[in-house]
Amino acid sequence: MRFDAIIVGAGHNGLVAANYLARAELKVLVCERRTMVGGACVTEEFSPGQSFSSCASVLSCLRSRILEELQLERHGLDLYQTELALLALRDDGACLRIWPALHRTLAEFDRLQAGDGDGFIDFGVTMRRFSSLMSPYLLAEPPTRAELQDAFLKAGEPELFAQFFESSANALMERFFRGSLAKGAMSYLGLVGLHGGTHTLGSAYLVGHHAMGNFAGGLGGAFLARGGMGSVTTAMSRAAIAAGATIKTDSEVAQIIVDSGTAAGVVLRDGQRLLAPIILSNADPHTTYLELLSRDDLPVATALAAEGIDFRGAQARILLVTRELPLFVGQSPADLASRTAVTLLGPDIDAYRRCGDASVGGELADDYPIELLAQSATDKAPGTHTVGLGIQQVPYQLRNGGWDERREEFTNTVLRSLFRYAPNLKDAVLQTFTLTPLDIERRYGLYRGNQFHGTMVPSQVLADRPFRNACGYRTAIPGLYLCGAGTHPGGGVMGACGYNAANAVLRDLGVDSGSQVPNSLASDRMPDLVHRLATNPRLRRFRNWLLRRSWPR
């Protein structure tokens, strides 16, 4: 059976690529090994009637161009935000709330530490500036580090480049905040997929990466998908099918066929051969290069580079079915907003260091910071609830024993931590499902449990992703492309990797897709008032005064 292009894996980037190739009138086939589309962006039923966003849980990085061009809302995607965006909580009841309304958030920061409200404004302006300078390079071929650094220099922001590419999340937060809870909450995203802690060089870039979302009129804000994250990829698959693509589930690709040095098709696990002159792999680079291809088909330098990709930095997930919503220490049962927000339990710089050191040593920590979301509070009929827990800084390889043997020990450790913050859950948990890094590798095909298809540190981003001197989305084998998170601009449900890979294919075919975004700083040549003020420290007090009073109340 022949196609113009075959995509390996129906994760969100593979589905985005399928959409754009099918819209260009290519005959496209997507092969997915699981019974459902979505990869790690799925909604799964772990017991009858109990569905979870089992891996990815919130949407913050999706590019607005993709959302609009694929008309995902028309295909069933319904996005919403909770009343409270983020709750950060210590076990003594001290908390920090991030509200959609700026004036309420500033009051929270100032309540905890005088002056941190102004620090939060400075932090937000800095993140927005970083995002605006990075944005032209997200839906484009990856720039080299030198090219990007030169762009920041021309924009008058050499220090901004250094803050995010040559520093840690801890050092970044020290510039803006004095309060420990503020520092811990704002630096948490620097842990995602990282080997170490917020003190680790490169963690500042991860903080910046998560601020690059720009859909629904926001910048880095978190949205939930009605029906869970699987609704995102379901809408993408519907759009792809409407554009003419074919999607086959239960169709695991066992081998990428290379004929006379060029890509020629795939072989499924059942032995079926499917032919196409173009193959896009949404699998991680290790799986693509070292498992789906024969070593005989790879240049030695490419094989060695693939072997050297850093995949350290795993996560674990614990999914709970409970009788009731969590009631956090210091919170009122009537305060529903604090029970439905994305919640960080124990976001503490010292805890990040302890857990990072344990992970680097292949050990389990005694106490973990936890990211919690009970989406059933806003997206389910009354009754039992589903509570998802995300735990970063867990080792893929344990020094003593294996994950299958130590699963219960790990689960009990995390639940002990959880019950300190939400004591009511101790007698309210009905079912527990734990996904260790090894489970995540097995279930979602993420090598070594790394959700970003490779650690996102400064040495492994931009044109050096997935490895130094990579060819962007093209590989050393003509006709074979990478379209997953192991390419620029990296992980998160962003869609940019699939978009860029599809455009690389279309350019190589001489097809004008009409979708390529020029790689320039044009979008930042007319900076808004906040950006102009941000470049002049003498106007800081006026800027902060203006923002405090001009925000809708």
Amino acid at 42: V
| Domains recognised in the chain with CATH numbers | 5-44+57-78+227-309+454-508 (3.50.50.60), 114-175+201-217+525-550 (no CATH), 314-444 (no CATH)
For 287-340, write each residue's pLDDT tens digit.
999 999 999 999 999 999 999 999 999 999 999 999 999 999 999 988 988 989
- For the stretch 161-165, contacts whose Cβ atoms lie closer than 8 Å and that sit 24 or more positions apart, written own/partner, are 163/126, 163/130, 163/204, 164/130, 164/204, 164/205, 164/207, 164/208, 165/204, 165/205, 165/458
- Residues 59/342, Cβ–Cβ less than 8 Å: no
**Using the 8-state DSSP alphabet, how is residue 59 labeled?**
B
Residue 542 has pLDDT above 80, yes or no: no
Note whether 327 and 424 are within 8 A (CB).
yes
Tell which residue, 110, 188, 100, 158, has the closest CA to residue 393: 188
- DSSP labels for 467-519? STT-BTTB-SSTTEEE-STTSTT-SSS--HHHHHHHHHHHHHTT---S-PPPS
Look at residues 132, 118, 56, 90 and name the one whose alpha carbon lies nearest to residue 531.
132
Q: What count of residues does the chain have? A: 553
pLDDT, one tens digit per residue, over 15-69 is 999 999 999 999 999 999 999 999 999 999 998 989 999 999 999 999 999 999 9
Among 474, 472, 479, 467, residue whose Cα is nearest residue 304: 467
Residue 307's SS3 state is helix
Q: Which pLDDT band, with edges at 50, 70 and 90, does 524 fall under?
A: very low
Half-sphere exposure of 426 (CA within 13 A, CB side): 9
Q: What is the pLDDT of residue 536?
A: 63
Say if residue 550 is exposed, middle or buried (CB neighbours under 10 Å; 0-12, 13-18, 19+): exposed
Q: Phi and psi at residue 338, in whole multiples of 5°?
A: -75, -10
Q: How far is CA 430 from CA 316, 323, 324, 342, in A?
A: 20, 7, 10, 21
Q: Of the candidates 326, 323, 317, which has an alpha carbon nearest to the alpha carbon of residue 430?
A: 323
pLDDT at 546: 67
- Tens-digit pLDDT profile for residues 261-296: 999 999 999 999 999 999 999 999 999 999 999 999
Q: Is the per-residue pLDDT at 521 higher than 60?
A: no
What is the pLDDT at residue 531? 59
> What's the confidence (pLDDT) of residue 532?
57
Does the pLDDT at position 254 exceed 60?
yes
Q: Report the interhelical angle of 403-421 vs 437-444 (nearest 10°).
A: 110
Can you give the pTM of this predicted structure?
0.94
Single out the residue of 303, 420, 314, 321 nearest to residue 358, CA to CA. Answer: 314
